[in-house]
């Protein structure tokens, strides 16, 4: 919408993409897993398999400012970090080694004033990661097993200053309690601020494109061939759906009828233990779950409402759905009862307010700077696949699909793009972090490259070379012409646009070489 001419657009797409490597940071001695900028853009943090979190000063030449080793706290490695809204605190998530070598997760809060450790919070499973809800409160997870493939995820609100607050003031409060079926769990939590929806930085409008292409093609932009590839999409369009109604059947009546059907032979006798457990859990949850919010899309009180977004599932343990739960203003503080609001017996679990089905393994999520759009990396399942065993998910594609969802309308607004690839099988699949700026979206990949796309034209603009898997990317929040990439090659690379490089060279002119000076003197 801001384009003035095609020449200006060509210049923008050529000259402002951060595709020139200007610095390589090699202070980590193992795989670098995650990068995060402070909101001011002055600092960024990196997490690594070497079990340190490093704080860097973002100047013309980036330098290391501080390094915290988490091994004294029995951590195996650090995996994720996030600055709070005023950049005074840093949340660091890692894998914690407990008794008998059992691995769980833990979140640490570090003060940016003097780099002291303020508090530690248990986080299970570790790939919940954790996130800030506001300046002083963060969200963590816990998991309780109910059966072999049935569990309950509890999301907790924690005060960052647990060791400082008075013992008479609550420092934790239960936010939500959600039942998981078929070995699924809640992972990868993040918070979207609804107050920004009515004035987005960039309004994506793809209705014409979607109407012109009913088959929703996937464009492979990562091919080395000069020929443009356009293939029909092989997987169904991700479905955005509201949760089904209870149907008016009580859990007790349903269970009794179900067991009567088994005894009298009205159901197939070849039901496995797994199928039986899932069926009982589904019947039990019907009359023990608090109903979802009446209208998630309502614009009332958006200025105070936030969405909790996370990956989940209902068919298998691999994350294949995105769950969305509204957080109301009175839930954004640890004040009140530790277990939250008083619940009736028929509200034992919380329901999800919205579910987006991806039909594939979700391996990355990221919000646009205005929190209006959710970008999702996924590896598709085969079309029409049937999951009969939740412990054996379908095979996943090597190509990574990049989807975009409008969180105001809860609809997919952009054709899926393919450029980056991943090769690990389903049971070993790991998270690849992506990031979004005003005009660009970037992601890592397992093909030893980072990728940059344009948000306006749906095209892949650059491939950024590493020597191993690229795990994370991060745009500077104040300068989208600066991008960082982190890789298994233990290196963080700094990329700037051609325009920025030229400006910096003018500011720091290089000395003329002796040979060049001699030739010029000969001419004169």
Spatial separation of the C-alpha atoms in residues 434 and 450, rounded to whole Å:
10
Helical residues (DSSP H) of 213-360, grouped into ranges: 251-263, 273-286
For 224, phi and psi rounded to 5 degrees? Answer: -80, -10
Determine the pLDDT at residue 214. Answer: 38
Encoding tokens for residue 99? 């008794």
Residue 514 lies in a domain: no
Task: Output the CA torsion sign for 246, 252, 257, 262.
Answer: positive
Determine the pLDDT at residue 196. Answer: 75
CATH number of 461's domain: 2.130.10.10
Contact present, 350 and 331 (Cβ < 8 Å): no
Burial of 451 (0-12, 13-18, 19+ CB in 10 A): buried
Helical residues (DSSP H) of 102-243, grouped into ranges: 207-212
Question: What is the per-residue DSSP string for 435-484?
Answer: EE-SSEEEE-BSSSEEEEEETTTTEEEEEEE-SS-EEEEEEETTEEEEEE
Encoding tokens for residue 442? 């970037």
Encoding tokens for residue 248? 């008016």
Q: What is the total residue count of the chain?
A: 524
Residue 227 lies in a domain: no
CA dihedral (499, 500, 505, 506) in degrees, to 10, reads 70
Determine the pLDDT at residue 221. Answer: 34
Contact present, 95 and 86 (Cβ < 8 Å): no
Encoding tokens for residue 306? 């936030």
Spatial separation of the C-alpha atoms in residues 55 and 43, rounded to whole Å:
7
Contact present, 374 and 309 (Cβ < 8 Å): yes
Q: Average pLDDT across each block of 10 residues of the chain; the chain has 524 residues. List them in order.
A: 81 94 97 98 98 95 96 95 97 86 86 95 94 96 92 94 63 92 94 80 56 38 36 46 48 62 62 73 72 62 82 94 93 77 70 93 94 93 90 89 92 75 71 94 94 90 96 97 98 97 78 55 60
Q: Estimate the crossing angle of helix 251-263 against helix 273-286, to 10 degrees.
A: 150
Determine the pLDDT at residue 169. Answer: 65
Residue 412 lies in a domain: yes
Contact present, 305 and 327 (Cβ < 8 Å): yes
Give which of 503, 403, 409 is closest to 453, Cα–Cα.
403
Domain boundaries, position 311: 28-199+302-507
Residue 443 lies in a domain: yes
Q: Give me the number of domains the chain comprises.
A: 1
DSSP 1: -
Give which of 109, 87, 131, 188 is closest to 433, Cα–Cα.
188
For 453, phi and psi rounded to 5 degrees? Answer: -115, 155
| Beta bridge mates, 156 | 140, 174
Residue 254 lies in a domain: no
Residue 13 lies in a domain: no
Contact present, 350 and 325 (Cβ < 8 Å): yes
Residue 397 lies in a domain: yes
Contacts 24+ apart (CB under 8 A), 164-169: 164/118, 169/334, 169/335
| Beta bridge mates, 117 | 110
Contact present, 216 and 233 (Cβ < 8 Å): yes
Spatial separation of the C-alpha atoms in residues 515 and 499, rounded to whole Å:
28
First to last CA, the chain: 53
Spatial separation of the C-alpha atoms in residues 249 and 426, rounded to whole Å:
37
Task: Output the CA torsion sign for 323, 326, 332, 336.
Answer: negative
Give which of 173, 141, 143, 171 is closest to 157, Cα–Cα.
173
3-state DSSP of 160-190:
CCCCCCCCCCCCEEEEEEEEECCCCCCEEEE
Question: What is the per-residue DSSP string for 140-158?
Answer: EEEEEE-SSS-EEEEEEEE
Q: Cβ–Cβ contacts within 10 Å for residue 234, how many?
A: 13
Strand order in the sheet with 239-241: 187-193, 306-312, 321-327, 354-357, 239-241
Give which of 288, 282, 281, 280 is closest to 343, Cα–Cα.
288
pLDDT tens per residue, range 109-127: 999 999 999 999 999 999 9
Determine the pLDDT at residue 228. Answer: 37
């Amino acid at each position: 919408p801001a384009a003035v001419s095609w020449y200006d657009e060509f210049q923008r797409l050529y000259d402002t993409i951060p595709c020139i490597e200007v610095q390589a940071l090699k202070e980590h001695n193992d795989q670098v897993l995650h990068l995060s900028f402070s909101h001011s853009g002055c600092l960024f943090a990196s997490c690594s398999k070497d079990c340190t979190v490093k704080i860097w000063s973002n100047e013309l030449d980036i330098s290391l400012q501080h390094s915290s080793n988490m091994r004294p706290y029995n951590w195996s490695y650090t995996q994720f970090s996030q600055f709070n809204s005023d950049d005074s605190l840093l949340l660091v998530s890692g894998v914690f080694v407990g008794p008998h070598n059992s691995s769980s997760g833990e979140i640490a809060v570090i003060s940016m004033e003097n780099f002291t450790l303020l508090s530690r919070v248990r986080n299970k499973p570790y790939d919940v990661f954790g996130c800030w809800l506001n300046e002083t409160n963060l969200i963590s997870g816990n998991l309780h097993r109910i059966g072999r493939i049935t569990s309950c995820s509890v999301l907790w609100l924690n005060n960052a200053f647990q060791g400082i607050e008075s013992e008479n003031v609550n420092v934790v409060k239960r936010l939500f309690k959600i039942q998981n079926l078929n070995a699924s769990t809640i992972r990868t939590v993040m918070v979207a601020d609804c107050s920004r929806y009515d004035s987005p930085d960039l309004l994506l409008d793809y209705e014409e494109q979607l109407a012109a292409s009913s088959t929703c093609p996937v464009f492979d932009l990562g091919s080395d061939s000069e020929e443009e590839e356009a293939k029909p999409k092989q997987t169904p369009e991700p479905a955005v759906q509201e949760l089904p109604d209870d149907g008016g059947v009580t859990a007790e009546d349903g269970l009794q009828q179900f067991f009567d059907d088994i005894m009298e032979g009205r159901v197939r006798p070849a039901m496995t233990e797994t199928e039986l457990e899932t069926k009982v859990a589904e019947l039990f949850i019907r009359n023990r779950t608090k109903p979802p919010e009446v209208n998630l899309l309502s614009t009332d009180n958006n200025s105070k409402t936030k969405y909790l977004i996370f990956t989940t599932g209902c068919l298998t343990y691999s994350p294949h759905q995105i769950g969305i739960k509204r957080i109301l203003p009175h839930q954004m503080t640890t004040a009140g009862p530790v277990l939250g609001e008083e619940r009736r017996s028929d509200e034992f679990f919380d329901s999800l307010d919205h579910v987006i089905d991806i039909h594939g393994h979700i391996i990355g999520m990221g919000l646009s700077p205005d929190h209006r759009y959710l970008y999702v990396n996924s590896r598709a399942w085969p079309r029409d696949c049937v999951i009969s065993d939740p412990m054996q998910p379908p095979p996943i594609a090597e190509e990574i699909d990049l989807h975009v969802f409008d969180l105001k309308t809860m609809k997919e607004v952009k054709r899926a793009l393919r450029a980056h690839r991943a090769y690990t099988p389903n049971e070993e699949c790991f998270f690849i972090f992506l990031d979004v700026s005003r005009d660009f979206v970037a992601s890592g990949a397992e093909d030893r490259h980072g990728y940059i796309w344009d948000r306006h034209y749906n095209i892949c603009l650059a491939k950024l070379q590493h020597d191993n898997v690229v795990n994370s990317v991060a745009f500077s929040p104040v300068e989208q012409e600066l991008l960082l990439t982190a890789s298994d090659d233990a290196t963080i690379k700094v990329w700037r646009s051609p325009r920025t490089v030229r400006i910096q060279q003018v500011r720091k002119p290089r000395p003329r070489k002796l040979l060049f000076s001699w030739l010029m003197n000969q001419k004169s």
